[in-house]
Chains A and B, each alone.
Chain A
């Protein structure tokens, strides 16, 4: 099986690595994006970024930053899927849960037999979206409101009612609203569950505010479901290596974080970068851009590119081809996974380490 290509032509791995190093050495505004990789891969990528003055972003930064926006501007209460699984007597789902969020809900929060039988857990689902009403019924959730657009108004009135303030009009009757708030207050340990891929930060902030308010008299916490591609793991590596989340640039010698300025899509479409390193080891996910600058792609096998990468190397999947440490949504922690089908396919960490070793030091550049 071919594993490396230069301009679409199969090539030995060593040649691809040398070509990637040449491209990085010749570029001055590098973007390392995608970042769908394990902890070792993220460490290698961030080290390379620090050395070359590059910018780093993750393909699911948007979801990560929505929760982070709320956290770094207000108070939040959180729990883990494991704790929710064993303790929560009430689940308050908010807004649509699709894709990985839906899988996590089923697997980690309500899906297992133990959880089903454990107690008389009640599930309320605020505005799941019309297309999820059947699914809500399947998981035994009582929908309150339907359309996703109604969620901000519903949350606002619910929060007001819980706090004993006059509640305005929402998509449900005042009687129904009162029932819900009374029910939430009667929970012993409730957990609000949401997917930030679906919700605006303002809505997340209202939900977290509601959770905080409920703790005036009872216990309630929040469970943001994790985005894919080890986004949370990469977030933590960013934190310990740079002190900041993704969408951070090292171009000025210090770490600088700006969710708009260092958004990879903005950087590419505005032509502010001259080289992209795209990483997606968990899925064959191509970058979403039509006309990126010269690109080095480290991706899972079978990735179909919109625009072919200048250098393309197939990498192994952490926990399958090679051991990997990544965020484990079931527990909310970093966990190590041995290879289930060990293979010779190169890991992201090794590929980047080899590219970095072959990249000339930037000493020749003038400031």
Chain B
């Protein structure tokens, strides 16, 4: 099947295309313009054509998300006074809503290894989009033992490789390294150089060991770090310390907005986004995603059990769940970001400042840390805010003036171009994750394509794509899903010394009296043909 998307404004930063032209699809791949008649032609004149967007950090599946749904039945449309057309907050809706916005690949970044099968089962039921998981290490007993016992780097790497393969993950994330483990020993505050009592290890040591192992194994996605001290006034220093600790190797800092807080002003809470942006600008091997806050009710889902425990008193509505899990755990705390709230308004501004003050769109990624800063359905509003200083001024005029006064946002005039949006949401995430087959429109790429009407109302434009193709299939037309199909999960499987398999079997038998089989994600369990695609390691 030969498909031609003709005459659109093609924005493909990875291939230096930014102008009127055609995109050709043969079956599931993009090809160069052939000397043939197309079987189907879509007229894209006056429309914007980009690769399908890629979300590097969105909590969309697994035990944590399921439990958040169960905690909050009132967030379901059926609980609304007048049930709407929406089908509720389900895996189906997740795939549906992402696809209608032109997103075709999404990373679920918080899967504790023992919960990997659960996450993959749910992701397998999330239609249209491809997805990937990040396995969370750094508070797990086995890893802390390895470091405590000064085992070799090779032994450490074998363990990381084993976890990646067992949990079918694309990369490794660390959440408040050591802090979650320390909380089990009743530690209530934990910084980068604090020490986990039971193991005598600092957060720094854990992060550096993981960063080196991920890099040495050739995993394309650098270590994905959720820093210590999330959400606390003055925590920009923790982020600065972590950025400095990256040294020469790549490091990705997740939802940096939540670390952009200083202690200036009457309320001892201010934006420190400018300092953070400056540090990111001068540290070329560090990438960040933002975790933008938008106003409204949401739920925070985080593997940072210590932080969520301390945040439980701010739950709105007043209910929460804290799980002391065996490889990590989770905290689920509903929250309402309010326009009238000084702190929430500062948080909103910090996110936008980071987007606008970090110069290189290849190193700052578009996230709301869904659903922690805002649901992913708020992306179109954020695109619009980034692209228009007038719109930002309108919003700021309705926010507490004293909040805006402790940020630099009112003075920022930068406006994102569509080209920069395409870098940030397509080309750069593909590069960050090591996915050479997507994020661009060059020949050989997977035919994941989003076509938007070029509207002045950017919210409407990005809310409902005119056309979306997934693997060459037309799946969305005029903002409506026209075809359901099942995506796949992207994973890496770096080489390892198989002796680790025996060690892990013995470890699970000794520590838990269990076989290690329960940690594995067998392909047959997912009931889909070819549920995984393997991404090569370097």
**A residues with CB within 8 A of B:** 39-40, 43, 68, 71-80, 82-83, 85-87, 112-114, 188-189, 215, 218-219, 221, 235-236, 239-245, 252, 254-257, 323, 325, 328, 330-331, 333-337, 349
The reply to whether B70 and A71 form a contact with Cβ atoms under 8 Å apart is yes
Closest to A256 in B: B78
Q: Does B215 contact A (CB under 8 A)?
A: no
Min CB–CB distance A45 → chain B (angstroms): 14
The reply to whether B118 and A79 form a contact with Cβ atoms under 8 Å apart is no
Closest 8 CB pairs of A and B: A243-B88, A335-B518, A239-B66, A336-B525, A79-B324, A243-B89, A334-B118, A240-B122
Contacts of A74 in B (CB 8 A): 318-319
The reply to whether A77 and B69 form a contact with Cβ atoms under 8 Å apart is no
> Cα distance A121–B429 when bound, in Å?
49
> Cα distance A221–B324 when bound, in Å?
7
Chain B, 322-362, CB within 8 A of any chain A CB:
322-326
> Cα distance A321–B312 when bound, in Å?
45
Contacts of A215 in B (CB 8 A): 309
Q: Does B125 contact A (CB under 8 A)?
A: yes
Contacts of A73 in B (CB 8 A): 319
User: Assuming the A-B contacts A240-B66, A254-B87, A257-B73, are A40 and B118 also in contact, with contact meaning beta carbons closer than 8 angstroms in the complex?
Assistant: no
User: Assuming the A-B contacts A77-B324, A255-B87, A330-B514, are A336 and B522 also in contact, with contact meaning beta carbons closer than 8 angstroms in the complex?
Assistant: yes
Contacts of B117 in A (CB 8 A): 325, 333-336
The reply to whether A236 and B118 form a contact with Cβ atoms under 8 Å apart is yes
The 30 listed contacts between A and B (C-beta, < 8 Å) are A72-B73, A77-B321, A78-B322, A80-B324, A87-B184, A112-B513, A114-B513, A219-B183, A240-B61, A240-B66, A240-B90, A240-B121, A241-B125, A243-B69, A243-B73, A244-B88, A255-B76, A256-B83, A323-B524, A325-B121, A330-B512, A330-B518, A331-B114, A333-B114, A333-B518, A334-B118, A336-B518, A336-B524, A336-B525, A349-B527
Contact with A along B169-209 (1 / 0, CB 8 A): 00000000000000111100000000000000000000000
The reply to whether A39 and B73 form a contact with Cβ atoms under 8 Å apart is no
Chain B, 51-95, CB within 8 A of any chain A CB:
61, 63, 65-67, 69-73, 76-78, 83-84, 86-93
Q: Does B147 contact A (CB under 8 A)?
A: no
Closest to A239 in B: B66
The number of chain B residues with a CB under 8 A from chain A is 60
The reply to whether A82 and B77 form a contact with Cβ atoms under 8 Å apart is no
The reply to whether A241 and B90 form a contact with Cβ atoms under 8 Å apart is yes
User: Assuming the A-B contacts A80-B325, A114-B513, A240-B122, are A219 and B186 also in contact, with contact meaning beta carbons closer than 8 angstroms in the complex?
Assistant: yes
Contacts of B325 in A (CB 8 A): 79-80, 83
Min CB–CB distance B399 → chain A (angstroms): 30
> Cα distance A245–B514 when bound, in Å?
30
Tally of A-B residue pairs with Cβ under 8 A? 168
Contacts of B183 in A (CB 8 A): 219
Min CB–CB distance A271 → chain B (angstroms): 25
> Cα distance A113–B509 when bound, in Å?
12
> Cα distance A74–B318 when bound, in Å?
6
Contacts of A219 in B (CB 8 A): 183-186, 324
The residue among B72, B114, B141, B315 with the most chain A CB atoms within 10 A of its own CB is B114
Closest to A72 in B: B71
Closest to B333 in A: A75
The reply to whether A242 and B88 form a contact with Cβ atoms under 8 Å apart is yes
Min CB–CB distance B333 → chain A (angstroms): 9
Q: Does B282 contact A (CB under 8 A)?
A: no
Min CB–CB distance A71 → chain B (angstroms): 6
Min CB–CB distance B442 → chain A (angstroms): 35
Contacts of B72 in A (CB 8 A): 72
Contacts of B323 in A (CB 8 A): 77-80
Min CB–CB distance A64 → chain B (angstroms): 10
Q: Does B115 contact A (CB under 8 A)?
A: yes
> Cα distance A73–B66 when bound, in Å?
17
Q: Does B39 contact A (CB under 8 A)?
A: no
The reply to whether A76 and B321 form a contact with Cβ atoms under 8 Å apart is yes
> Cα distance A196–B527 when bound, in Å?
32
Q: Does B36 contact A (CB under 8 A)?
A: no
Contact with A along B111-143 (1 / 0, CB 8 A): 000110110011001000000000000000100
> Cα distance A79–B72 when bound, in Å?
20
Min CB–CB distance A82 → chain B (angstroms): 4
Min CB–CB distance B13 → chain A (angstroms): 35
Min CB–CB distance A115 → chain B (angstroms): 8
Min CB–CB distance A347 → chain B (angstroms): 11
